[in-house]
Structure 1
């Protein structure tokens, strides 16, 4: 018998913020959170009704608040117009050779090549290679266009292995060496940088749990083993800290939270989101490091309340939580280090887009047979994951 899941007000507010503040689409949020689109739209409508005076205080807006709303509407309109022009150009000019020919025409009219390449979002190296190489067959041009489209869809993060798999799923069968050559000719190269900031404070007097996970990262059932960790995001406004929870079965991020500091409330919030979304059974194993946030009494009380077993890495041993560390590295290589966030709000929106719109729903994982976490769960479980009731 199907049962209806119940969500508290805090969880509903987090989902509404994904749609309103982080500008995620309702279908994206529905797919990654496992919640019906109708329910999400109802929550958004209720929230908008309340802030517009439907069930709120009804106080009139101040002049400053009115100006802020007008500016937000103008920015949203300009962003929408810009996206429309980009989409129209891609529909009219699906092949990169068209962009190269347009750059060549502009150059003949004294437009700097660097400026033209920047406007059309192509590399100068790729343009000059195009000028030097002879014309290729139509099939080769189509393969190059499809490859670049997948590279852009990945946030310019895919290497040759994942691009080959992504193209194969679209019906473009080609070897890895050909993919490498096409990437080289088009000037497509993921840019990865490495930075480090210490975020784990293990110098505390809280009790430390035993390492029950013991690096057993392959799990054959959902909602049996979760891992959690903290990381940092640099913005011009200051550090933004991200706490995340992952289901090892599908490598899906099932809960996350951000804040300007690292209090225990941050990791509790991420876990509470995960619990609301997945509703795991008693006996779930949750692994983390020995940080003071995870060893604190408030966090441990939440684990006991939900019948969760606690597991912790050995002191100073990041390999005991390697899968979660890898997620944070992917997040930074594929998104964060390619951005320059003006403030924490901008970083929050971009991270939400990465998790919901790319990592959970579209990113190909080699450990999952080159499927995304959402597709892996759908293909391997016809019923909702263990501990999650069907939505009615």
Structure 2
């Protein structure tokens, strides 16, 4: 009998699974099914992670003499110099966002001044010292009105949006409206000259869904980012949807978590044949497209200003905002997370969909025919086309 080789897991994979177990959003059984690892092993990784964190914050006496804080600071500074000299941060910081690196700055570290920390983290000091001023109540109210009207008339630019707000009794100028729309990431949808100038470092992919018959789950996935207004601020939401069944496969409450949402959807539901997005910088970055290319997923991107190219997820945003976000003035991110979790669960499992002949997205996803099957009937396909045109 041959020797059975024990499967080994990378430290990054263990830490990610342990962190999910510590969060407690999924049970051990669900985590085991999600990652293909036994529950006992996940429990062991969780225990090791908790013990490691406890050891980090505890000071235990050992046989050796205690190390002074000054010696620790010197050691940290020396390690930082070695990391910079050997190019460690040049290779690894590409996977960490700028906002996350700014959070690593510790102004109280006496032996490692801020200028040195900025050098190690590849940050400009001006961005570290700057403290953004939050939007006032008047601007937040205007942003909510702009968002609601933009869902109805996505062809409104700053001029027409200014006239709309003035008709509602708000004395605002066009510059102010233009600035608020830029913060929200809203741009009027109409033909403009020379708007598709590609980023010099980001590749743009062609649109692959034109005249394509989509008749099965996991044939095409799509993703987008939207602005979520709150009572005292706003957040961004990214979601990944199955095009055929309209099922929300994964979502995160931050535009920086696009890659995390994609990894979650791939682990839960496999790989699609085509992945469609817009040309936003979050989706054109090599980190995002590289993850798709590694799995041989064909990449499709909308044309600039072509919101109809990704119409179904645009309809998802409309339903979500009118049925959940606008009905509840969420004050904190945790309240918003709970509200969106409840609504998306209802949307996937209980809310009938007209384009699916009254079925829910979960029913359409799990009960759909095999890839060689017929897919939607002609009447259902015609109904789906009518819904798309009505959008």
What TM-score results when the alignment is normalised by the length of structure 2? 0.50
Which is higher, the Rg of structure 1 or of structure 2?
2
What TM-score results when the alignment is normalised by the length of structure 1? 0.50
